[in-house]
Amino acid sequence: MTDFDTPSQTPQEPQQEETSLVRWLIETALLVLLAFALAQGIKAYVVQPFVIPTGSMQPTIELKNYVLAEKITYRFSRRPRYGDIVVFKNPTNDPGAPILIKRCIAVGGQTVDLKDGKVLVDGVQLDEPYTYGKPTEPLNAAIQYPFRVPDNNYWMMGDNRTNSGDSREFGPVPDEKVIGHAVWTYWPVDQFGSLN
């Protein structure tokens, strides 16, 4: 009677497991990279979150609120217009200056005037319920009123007029400084909702 060798495990099985593990690691790394690239693309071209650094937009937006600014409108449809809440780079060109968020009051070609605590654009007094009756006074003696906003620039002011460093202080905001249109507060939860 002949003894037959019992079949042993083929040496390929551990190698297959090793190959499967390596493939899984590569696929996972690629998925993570793809998700990261997609998130960066969305942030750069579609929507970006911001934390509000000051109380200059109170009570519309509170200090430390988290808001979303969409970028599609200003990139493909239209530029900022009166009433928009706009996120923009600080026009002072200080690299350490924070990103700002203010309301667009006037656009290039329009004239802004401040009289008796009120804002006039092209000679017409604005109805500004978002300021809750706070007066709007000049901040920088070098800015003379009435002030004509240069083309491709915007006059931005905070809703909290008595506590806002804005175009009254640093002048008009050039178009290239505009980042996006703030449209939504998403934190804290009790203030979740659209911005007006």
> What CATH number is associated with residue 108?
2.10.109.10
CA distance 72 to 184: 14
Minimum mean pLDDT range among 9-13, 28-32, 61-65: 9-13
Q: Is residue 75 part of a domain?
A: yes
118 and 130 assigned to the same domain: yes
Q: Residue 182's pLDDT is what?
A: 96
Candidate list 8, 20, 43, 56, residue with the active-site label: 56
36 and 59 assigned to the same domain: no
Please tell me whether the peptide bond between 188 and the residue prior to it is cis, using omega within 30 degrees of 0: yes
55 and 116 assigned to the same domain: yes
22 and 98 assigned to the same domain: no
Domains held by the chain: number: 2
Q: Is residue 77 part of a domain?
A: yes
For 152, the token pair is: 């491709």
Q: Is residue 66 part of a domain?
A: yes
Q: Is residue 22 part of a domain?
A: yes
31 and 80 assigned to the same domain: no
pLDDT confidence band for 188 (50 / 70 / 90): very high
Residue 2 confidence (pLDDT) above 60: no
Contacts of 18 (CB under 8 A, 6+ apart): none
Q: Is residue 2 part of a domain?
A: no
- Average pLDDT of span 144-161: 97
88 and 177 assigned to the same domain: yes
108 and 61 assigned to the same domain: yes
What is the tens place of the pLDDT at every residue in 77-134? 899 999 999 999 999 878 788 899 999 999 999 999 999 999 999 999 999 999 999 9
Contact assessment for residue 173 and residue 166, using Cβ atoms and an 8 Å cutoff: no
186 and 134 assigned to the same domain: yes
Candidate list 102, 164, 167, 177, residue with the active-site label: 102
Q: Residue 42's pLDDT is what?
A: 66
Burial class (CB in 10 A: 0-12, 13-18, 19+), 144: exposed
Which residue range(s) make up the domain with 176?
48-194
Q: How many CB atoms lie within 10 A of CB 19?
A: 11
Give me the chain's average pLDDT, please. 89
* SS3 category, 111: strand
Residue 9 confidence (pLDDT) above 60: no
Q: Residue 21's pLDDT is what?
A: 80
> Could you confirm whether 134 is annotated as catalytic?
no
89 and 185 assigned to the same domain: yes
> Could you confirm whether 164 is annotated as catalytic?
no
CA distance 130 to 58: 9
Q: Is residue 168 part of a domain?
A: yes
123 and 177 assigned to the same domain: yes
pLDDT confidence band for 177 (50 / 70 / 90): very high
Q: Residue 101's pLDDT is what?
A: 96
172 and 84 assigned to the same domain: yes
Q: How many CB atoms lie within 10 A of CB 61?
A: 25
Q: Residue 126's pLDDT is what?
A: 97
- pTM attached to this predicted model: 0.80
- Average pLDDT of span 2-23: 63
27 and 118 assigned to the same domain: no
Q: Is residue 25 part of a domain?
A: yes
CA dihedral of residues 92, 59, 75, 154 (deg, nearest 10): -50
